[in-house]
Amino acid sequence: MDNYRMVHRNPVPERYGRLRVETDPGPARWLGEPRNHGAFGTVAGVCAPGFAAYARVLHPASLGERPVRWSAVGAAYGHEVVPGTDWHTLIGMDRDYPNAEVYGLPGVWDEHPAEGPTPLGVARALIPVLARHTATSEHCWYGLWNGYGRWDFDQLPSFATPGRDEVLLAGTLSDAVSPASLDEFAELPDLWWPQDRAWCLGGDVDLVSTYIGGSGELIDELLAAPELEAHRVAPGDGVG
């Protein structure tokens, strides 16, 4: 993670894409209450505990510019994808190996799933589903790890989540993808939740999945969404 801090850092902007950069982290304090954060390294630690159901949304691998589902990669290797499947186990490799160009499978995949916050394509597919399960899609809050990139977020007040310190952003649900307009390297927020707290989405710089807690109806819809590859998980499950 130190590599994120080695680049030149710009002054804190008033906006991150269309998201407002907030100087008062008060609206996120509920996440710091003991009943509202799970253990580090668990599903609830990445998003938040207390929801009726949870889903793990897999970040796709790719072949050229085309996204590739984990299930397609698993089928090529003769492995089944289950809720707790680790990507490196799926492809039969440990974490200490060279680039995907060497170890990709011709005709199946040539680039690993993106580590970090929700990838842009996945986020765009999630937004309409999430919008149907909150009454406050025009008023959402976001957390962005203050260790990312080129802005000196260290000077802003932050709020703590298991293992991370986050700065608070605000905007509409559709604004979640707006940081992509800054440049191709701008990360989307790690945490998303609407004002009514009907659900909470969480990701992390070290993960290749996004985790969502919400109602049973929301999770059922995520699992059925054709644009997403999702599995039902439990709040205490490990995230790898």
pLDDT in tens, 48-72: 999 999 999 999 999 998 999 999 9
DSSP class per residue in 114-150? PPBSPPHHHHHHHHHHHHTT-S-TTSEEEEEETTSTT
Q: How many Cα atoms sit within 13 Å of 218 on the Cβ side?
A: 25
Same domain, 165 and 198: yes
Of residues 99 and 209, which shows the higher confidence score?
Answer: 209
In which band, very low, low, confident or very high, does the pLDDT at 5 lie, cut at 50, 70 and 90? very low
Q: What is the mean pLDDT of residues 181-190?
A: 90
Residue 98 lies in a domain: yes
Same domain, 133 and 72: no
Rounded Cα–Cα distance for residues 106 and 96 (Å): 21
pLDDT at 228 over 60: yes
| For the chain, counts of helices (H) and of strands (E) | 6, 12
User: What are the strands, taking DSSP E only, across 48-138?
Assistant: 53-58, 61-63, 66-68
Q: How many Cα atoms sit within 13 Å of 133 on the Cβ side?
A: 22
pLDDT at 223 over 90: yes
Same domain, 91 and 191: no
Domain count, the chain: 2
DSSP-assigned beta bridge partners for residue 161: 164
pLDDT, position 71: 98
C-alpha distances in angstroms, 64 versus 108, 120, 183? Answer: 10, 16, 20
Residue 209 lies in a domain: yes
Same domain, 75 and 176: no
pTM for this one?
A: 0.91
pLDDT (tens digit per residue) in 102-155: 578 999 999 999 999 999 999 999 999 999 999 999 999 999 999 886 777 878
pLDDT, position 2: 43
Rounded Cα–Cα distance for residues 67 and 54 (Å): 24
Structure token pair of residue 49: 């505990």
Same domain, 152 and 210: yes
Rounded Cα–Cα distance for residues 147 and 151 (Å): 9
Structural domain range at position 91: 66-103
pLDDT, position 59: 98
pLDDT (tens digit per residue) in 155-164: 889 998 888 9
**In this structure, are residues 196 and 134 in contact, taking their beta carbons and an 8 Å threshold?**
yes
pLDDT (tens digit per residue) in 11-47: 667 899 999 999 999 999 888 766 656 788 999 999 9
Residue 176 lies in a domain: yes
pLDDT at 100 over 90: no
pLDDT, position 6: 44
Same domain, 140 and 182: yes
pLDDT, position 1: 40
Q: Which residues of 27-60 are buried (b: 16+ CB within 10 A; e: fewer)?
A: ebeebeeeebbbeeebbbbbbbbebebbbbbbbb
Rounded Cα–Cα distance for residues 231 and 224 (Å): 10
Same domain, 10 and 79: no
Rounded Cα–Cα distance for residues 11 and 151 (Å): 6
